[in-house]
Amino acid sequence: MSDNAAAAPPVTAGVDTRPQWFGHPAQLARLFMTEMWERFGYYGMRALLTLYLAEHFLFSDSTTNGLYGAFTALVYLTPLFGGLLADRYLGSKRAVKFGAVLMAAGYFMLCFGGDAAKPFASINGERFAVEVVTAGEDKTQFITSGGERLQIKGQDDGSVALLRPDGSAAQTVAKDAFSSSGERSEFYVMLMLFALSLVTVGNGFFKPNISTIVGSLYADGDRRRDAGFTVFYMGINIGAFLSQFFLPLVALYFGWSLGFGLAAVGMLLSWLLMHFDGGRLDGYGDRPAGAGPNRDLLIYIAAIAFVPLTWLLFRNMLDTADVAAAAAKSGDGFLGYIASLPLLGRLMFFTFFAAIIGIPVYAWRTGSVKEFQMMAAAFVLIVFNVVFWTLFEQAGSSLTFFADRNTDRQIGSYLMPAGQVQVFNAIFIIMLAPVFSALWLWLAGRGREPGIPVKFGIALIGAGLGFLALVFGTQFAGPDFKVGLGWIALIYFIHSAAELCISPVGLSMITKLSMARIVAMMMGVWFLSIAVAQYVAGIVAQFASVETVGGEVTNLKVSLDTYVGVFSWIGWIAVGIGALLLLVSPFLKRWMHGVK
């Protein structure tokens, strides 16, 4: 039995006798703040990461998107193991504190990136240094060939024109004969991957267990649970808002290192709140009863030993991302990509399929018919959850690049950094979370609250409509092939509303439908489904990859057309899948046995 199941809240005659915080157990306030600062660190780092990889290390779009997808996938995969270890041995509080230390170390390590990579281009096998000239938002790339300084200009058909100062073409290079990259330090690449590995392993201990402690604050049948998770989710987004607003500005004016350093400070504040809790969390997240001998040190050593293995997975992804992306864009398309999966992809899909088959079998063999049906319903929703997060997590990859390249971010005299557009999600969540929390309570009081499957279906349709709204907005792009910032804000508004239908509800759903003895592991499976979605999101983003020189595209029309094609495709697919879930929701509701 998990530590959280053992720590039953003191409820007498249906009345919660503990100190309250806005109608919820007072412990929720500390967990709210702990998660807020942890998310400050994570989302601040995420707001910088793709642009850092593309602009500092000069990785290609396909490499950047592939590595970003691999990182975010492993961030959500490791909670499967962190939740299990907390359930069996550590207890949630120890797991959270250990994870916070590893993540802070990873963020600090990202501060050391060395000198920026030096761009170069290869033309018919001959290598040329690239000079990048910046004028406000505009960046122009040049090479020197035969004593002439020539501008690199991408063409609509994928070829590259080398232009003289008077605009005439000195040479047109076929698409296959032109490539670009950067000369970078392998030591700092290794250090960056090691930092991401520390964050990945640390998050595995932190993420599932903080949510499990929140679930343990409420007795079975407590109708405040969904609202409590929504409040908790609001704390996440306050942290995200603070970091996504300020850290891109810090990185722009003071450098990447200070931006990542502030993310580390946020993570340390999260650890301090958990470590010095003044006894407020006594009885919640403690070491589980019957855990046997203290194995804490052994678990910590094993976790640290897992960091180099994670580094190898990232290294493999880095080395194979361009090849895999080329396969995805070839005649074989998506199936071609699957056939060329790197090691991490195979691990990801194998683990997911093992979980969605093995755990229900375990429930069927060891639980009652009711428990099995509830677990089966949970897994159906987990599979649909993959689709939602595949779309939503384009925010850190393809949508960030779209904002950087094809969005007019000028607001009066203020030019919004591309990484800062992610703050729209946090702003809208903060605005909408109280509304949705009150809405669910109001509907529940009248017996009209939508069931969990219906909320999931609405979320999927919303995710698809967000992309379709942005695609609609691209028809109003100016002659510079850039859309207004309002269209980016609109997709984030729609996605934020959709997110509030699935994410806090999903966390609550896991704690209510899971068998008590494996609730933390099921929380890990929930994050595993998001991990698979992150990986698939990386695949989608690679389909949206655009050729760059010196970290910048050379033809904005090509990039706009590429994004429109991919966003249209995934938008309509999501709407169709969401509609399918609404159709089957009555059948799932019966298997949930009254869980709302």
Q: What is the pLDDT of residues 87-108, one digit of tens each?
A: 888 888 889 999 999 999 999 9
The answer to whether residues 296 and 405 belong to one domain is yes
Answer yes or no: is 255 within a domain: yes
Shared-domain flag, residues 152 and 89: no
Q: Rounded to an integer, what distance in angstroms lies between the CA atom of residue 190 and that of residue 12? A: 56
Q: Supply the DSSP string of 359-372, one letter for each residue.
A: HHHHHHHHS-HHHH
H or E element in which residue 376 lies = helix 369-392
| 328 and 419 assigned to the same domain | yes
Cα distances (angstroms) measured from residue 430 to each of 13, 15, 433, 501, 504: 34, 29, 6, 14, 13
Q: Find, among 45, 54, 319, 95, the residue nearest to 196 by Cα.
A: 45
48/197 same-domain check: yes
3-state secondary structure at position 64: helix
- Name the pLDDT band for 1 (thresholds 50, 70, 90): very low
- What is the mean predicted confidence (pLDDT) over 565-588? 93
**Residue 16: inside a domain:** no
The residues facing 154 across adjacent strands are 160
User: Is there a single domain that holds both residue 124 and residue 226?
Assistant: no
> Domain holding 540: CATH number?
1.20.1250.20
Range in 442-451, 508-517, 540-549 the model is least confident about = 508-517
- The pair of three-digit structure tokens given for residue 262, joined into one six-digit string: 């502030």
The pLDDT, as a whole number, for residue 390 is: 92
| DSSP string of 280-330, one letter each residue | TTTTSSPPPTT--S--HHHHHHHHHHHHHHHHHHHHHHHHHHHHHHHHHHS
d(CA 233, CA 240): 11
**567 neighbors 147 (Cβ within 8 angstroms):** no
Query: Which region among 194-203, 283-292, 353-362, 432-441 has the lowest average model confidence (pLDDT)?
Result: 283-292
Q: Is residue 85 part of a domain?
A: yes
Gap between the Cα atoms of 221 and 568, Å rounded: 42
Of 21-35, 56-70, 117-131, 566-580, the least confident: 21-35
**Nearby residues of 148 by Cβ (< 8 Å), 6 or more positions away:** 164, 170
Measured distance CA(122)–CA(494) in Å, rounded: 42
Distances (CA, A) of 184 to 55, 104, 128, 314, 573: 12, 25, 15, 17, 39
Q: How far is CA 3 from CA 34, 290, 291, 364, 523, in A?
A: 19, 10, 9, 23, 14
Pick the closest to residue 441 from 14, 10, 35, 22 (CA basis): 22
237 in the same domain as 156: no
Is there a domain that residue 365 lies in?
yes
* Same domain assignment for residues 160 and 102: no
Q: Is residue 422 part of a domain?
A: yes
**Over 50: is that where the pLDDT of 28 sits?**
yes
Say yes or no: 448 and 501 in one domain.
Answer: yes
pTM: predicted TM-score of the whole model, two decimal places: 0.84
- pLDDT mean over 515-527: 73
186/382 Cα distance (integer angstroms): 39
- Quote the CA–CA distance of 174 and 180 in Å, as a whole number: 13
Residues 344 and 433 in one domain: yes
**One domain for residues 200 and 214:** yes
Task: Give yes or no for residue 11 having a pLDDT over 60.
Answer: no
Please report whether residue 19 resides in a domain: no
Residue 336 pLDDT grade (very low, low, confident, very high; cuts 50, 70, 90): low
pLDDT at 107: 96
Domain encompassing residue 536: 3-11+24-116+184-591
Query: What integer is the mean pLDDT of 187-212?
Result: 92
Domain final residue, candidates 166, 182, 198: 182
3-state secondary structure of 208: helix
pLDDT of residue 314: 93
Looking at residue 181, the DSSP 8-state letter turns out to be E
- Among the three residues 138, 155, 182, which one is the final residue of a domain in this structure? 182
Condensed to tens digits (0 to 9), the pLDDT of residues 227-273 reads 777 778 778 888 989 999 999 999 989 999 999 999 999 999 999 98
- Per-residue pLDDT tens for 347-378? 777 878 888 888 888 878 887 788 788 888 88
The reply to whether 78 falls in a domain is yes
Considering 155, 182, 209, which residue would you say is the last residue of a domain? 182
Average pLDDT over residues 302-325: 87
Dump pLDDT digits (tens) for 491-503: 999 999 999 888 7
Categorize the per-residue pLDDT at 225 as very low, low, confident or very high, splitting at 50, 70 and 90.
Answer: confident
Tally of structural domains, the chain: 2
Angstrom distances, CA of residue 381 to CA of 12, 105, 465: 34, 35, 20
b/e code 233-268 from CB counts within 10 Å (16+ = b): bbbbbbbbbbbbbbbbebbbeeebeebbbbbbbbbb
Shared-domain flag, residues 359 and 387: yes
Give 133's strand partners.
140
Same domain for 547 and 573, yes or no, is yes
Six token digits for residue 524: 């890990």
CA dist 530 and 524 (Å) reads 10
Residue 17 lies in a domain: no
Q: Which residues pair with 483 in a beta bridge?
A: 407
Residue type, 450: P
